[in-house]
Amino acid sequence: MSYYFTILSPTDTPIFNIAFGTSKGGGDGIARFRFPDTAQYMNQFIIHSSLDIVEEAQWTNGGMYLKHVDTYPPAAAYISAFLTPSGARFLLLHQPPQLPSGNASLGSSSLLGASGSTTRTSSSSVAANPTSPQTEEAVRQFMNEIYESYVKSAMSPFYKQGMEIRSPVFRSKVTAAGKKWL
């Protein structure tokens, strides 16, 4: 499983990005996206195209963790969202590893997660199924842990909303949370 995590300001400016791979089931923590050359661009594109759905969910579900909100079948990418009360969005894109056959076609998968079945063969690890309850719970823990670090960044009087979070300590906290939960 490969992950791309981003924090967007209330005005959709990315204030933090990181890519990493799973550390579960012997994973080495390195992201291996299906389109390595364009991964950076694609990931941001996919995340941004899920924002309308996030915004809709934002006003029907009062939770901070919105779970899996969107799927982008062409890249087999799943998006999970966490909203801070002050309007920042934590978005996690997960992409299961490509099947050996190279058959990544998911057809017209619904947003409800039925598409998860196509990846079942690739791995038995929890993280391999982006919509399973175990994954949802792991992502929730991951998000909560990052929320704590985010609040610490935002509490500093010199931090202004929408400012890029450049602290390497913050980055290492996110990396550690990824390693621990994903």
75-94 binders of another protein (CB under 8 A): 83-87
Q: What is the CA radius of gyration of the chain?
A: 16
127-156 binders of another protein (CB under 8 A): 144, 147-156
Convert residues 36-65 into a mask of x (bound to another protein by CB under 8 A) and - (unbound). x--xxx--xx-xx--xx-----xxx-xxxx
Task: Give backbone dihedrals phi and psi of 93, rounded to 5 degrees, phi first.
Answer: -100, 125
| Smallest separation (angstroms) from another protein to the CB of 107 | 25
Which positions ≥6 away from 162 have C-beta within 8 Å? Answer: 9, 10, 11, 13, 15
**124 near another protein (CB under 8 A):** no
Residue type, 110: S
Cα angle 41-70-119, degrees, rounded to a multiple of 5? 85
> What residues line the site for another protein (CB under 8 A)?
4, 6, 10-21, 29-32, 36, 39-41, 44-45, 47-48, 51-52, 58-60, 62-65, 83-87, 144, 147-161, 164, 166-173, 175
